[in-house]
Amino acid sequence: MAAINTALTALLPGLRAPIVLAPMAGASGGRLAASVSRAGGLGFLAAGYLDRAAIEAEMREAKAVLGGANAPLGINLLTWKLTQNNNGVLPSADTSSDSSPSKALDTIDCILEHKPQAIWLAFGEQLDMREWCAYVQRRAAQLGAQPLLFVTANTEKEAQLAVEEWGADVLVVQGNEAGGHGLGTAPPLATLVRAVASALPQWKPNNSRHAKPPLLAAGGIADGAGVAATLALGADGAVVGTRFILTPESLYKDEQKQLLLGASAHDTVRSYAFDDARGTLGWPAGIDGRGLRGPLVTAYDSACVAHGAAPGTAVPGIEERQQRYRNAAAAGDTSSLVTWAGAGVGLATSIDPAAEVVATLAREAVAALRQAAQSLPP
């Protein structure tokens, strides 16, 4: 595989290409995460909705795939969900005398016991992000773990907070093109990456290394040219989601993968409809999701119009919409279920092993960078 050296690969021994698997709930299980890592990228297990038993099962599968290989592996958590699973409160500074830890604290302990090379926190109000980032770092030190802290930012302001207050070792900026959850009003990825890359040297890092964190770009990246473009914009790596859904190792159903193969960017939409139908409520204000347009989006939009309700607010008829969703799930009606997809979905045209995807992305990225360099004067 073509090696690409950046600040990210320098930080993580065993990482041969700055290609990171997006931690997608329902897609990025242990098998996919480990397959990406073993191939030279950085895989993340999506654990935002998982409990200890589920995490243990996924990590057993991940370790079986890795087979002792020297490859970094990460685990992702949803910050707002941590607060929800901590009885609705932020973590205290001292949990050493807590004989009955909450689900959130037990989940973090479970993850740290596996000593992953990275933990990724995403999506929370500013206070939640600050306190949970600090807690994870404290608890890691107590348990003898040394994970790098990855933090998601959807705006330049969030990015600065992540660097100067939340202690990010690696900063992930997510543009509006990203599939799955994100800030509905986030700038396009290219705009956000350039803004943050330009401002980053002036910020004062608050991480354990007191060093500028590598910058990762997420949103709509589905081929090697996209990876190359993010590097040219000033990023140190690319987060790829939808392309990795189209692998045998992904947890998505075959029917959902076929829907993605037939889709283009015009078939995706940002909407609150997805969480409305699934009942996965509680996300921070302004966070919606990008997925394939379908009956549930149509039903939600129609309800908003009929009741004069603004998207993201309590729209009458939610119980009926959720019941229809449960019925569709029971009947196996994939077209009526949530299928997350980024704006780059049309660039993915086949189902290929994760290792092959990593190698192809790296090879295409190198080729794109070399081609661009040919236009430079001698």
Among 181, 196, 187, 188, smallest CA distance to 236 is for 196
Residue 43 has pLDDT above 70, yes or no: yes
Determine how β-strand 287-292 pairs with β-strand 180-183: antiparallel
User: For 292-305, what is each residue's pLDDT tens digit?
Assistant: 999 999 999 999 99
Q: What's residue 150's pLDDT? A: 98
Q: How far apart are CA 66 and CA 153, in angstroms?
A: 30
Q: What is the pLDDT of residue 171?
A: 98
Taking only the tens place, the pLDDT of each residue in 219-232 is 999 999 999 999 99
H or E segment to which residue 308 belongs: none
Measuring CA to CA, which residue among 253, 177, 167 is closest to residue 211?
167
What pLDDT, on the 0 to 100 scale, is given for residue 3?
81
Confidence at residue 297, expressed as pLDDT on a 0 to 100 scale: 95
Coil/strand/helix, residue 298: helix
Do the Cβ atoms of 357 and 247 come closer than 8 Å?
A: yes
Domain ranges in the chain are: 7-252+347-373, 264-336
What is the rounded average pLDDT of the residues 239-254?
97
Mean pLDDT of the chain: 95
Report which listed range, 2-16, 80-94, 354-368, is most confident: 354-368
What's the pLDDT at 231?
A: 98
List, for residues 156-215, the tens digit of each pLDDT value.
Answer: 999 999 999 999 999 999 999 999 999 999 999 999 999 999 999 999 999 988 899 999
Average pLDDT over residues 46-57: 97
Q: pLDDT of 103-155, one tens digit each? A: 999 999 999 999 999 999 999 999 999 999 999 999 999 999 999 999 999 99
> In whole angstroms, what separates CA 159 from the centre of its chain?
15
Both tokens of 87, joined, read 């009885």
Q: What is the pLDDT of residue 377?
A: 83
Angle 52-66/103-113 helices, nearest 10 degrees? 20
The arithmetic mean of pLDDT across residues 58-79, rounded, is 95
- Helices 103-113 and 126-143: crossing angle in degrees, nearest 10, is 50
**Does residue 95 have a pLDDT over 60?**
no
Question: How crowded is the C-beta side of 197, counted as CA atoms within 13 Å?
Answer: 17
Fold adopted by 7-252+347-373:
TIM Barrel (3.20.20)
Contact indicator for 242, 290 with CB cutoff of 8 Å? no
Q: At what angle do helices 52-66 and 30-38 cross, to 10 degrees?
A: 30
State the pLDDT at residue 93.
66
Q: What is the pLDDT of residues 208-220, one digit of tens each?
A: 888 999 999 999 9
Q: Which H or E element spans position 136? A: helix 126-143
Which of residues 56 and 95 earns the better pLDDT score?
A: 56
- Minimal CA–CA distance to 203: which of 151, 242, 164? 164
Environment class of residue 117 by beta-carbon count within 10 Å: exposed (0-12), middle (13-18) or buried (19+)?
Answer: buried
